[in-house]
Amino acid sequence: MLVEILISFFIVLAGVFGLVGSVGVIKLHDTMQRLHAPTKATTLGVGGVLIASMLYFLLVKNSLSFHELLITIFLFLTAPVSAHFVAKTYIQAKMKQEELPGSEGEFGWAIYDDPPAYYDQD
């Protein structure tokens, strides 16, 4: 009884996160705003389903399943990286230097932190 409640809790929680992420993609106006919905809420939604699946196999079927663990690790490693790439591409393609806040980097909001070729000539 307690096992079913725990598994059901994670499935419902995953559904709520998935719904919030889906509504966020539809309702938010800008690409940079929409970026947060799938990378945060939907990632947690899929993570909740994977946790529920791991608990089911561990507590009900009495077997340890590494597939869900590997999928969870892959998901939580790739979602921030892909969001970072989308944000950097958006900054490079759509925004002007004047629109960006100040940067602590020596070369401003550069895609690469390498100095320009003419800068190295001493």
- Write the pLDDT tens digit of every residue in 70-81: 998 888 888 888
First-to-last C-alpha distance (Å) of the chain? 74
Query: Percent of the chain scored above 90 by pLDDT?
Result: 27
Torsion sign across C-alpha atoms 68, 38, 24, 40: positive
pLDDT at position 48:
92
Q: Which range has highest mean pLDDT (22-26, 91-95, 103-107)?
A: 22-26
Residue boundaries of the structural domains of the chain: 1-28+35-87
pLDDT higher than threshold 60 for residue 107 = yes
Given a contact cutoff of 8 angstroms between Cβ atoms, the answer to whether 38 and 44 are in contact is: no
pTM (predicted TM-score): 0.70
**What pLDDT score was predicted for residue 22?**
87
CA distance 43 to 46: 5
Q: Which tens digit of pLDDT belongs to each residue from 85-103?
A: 888 888 878 877 777 777 7
The pLDDT of residue 113: 56
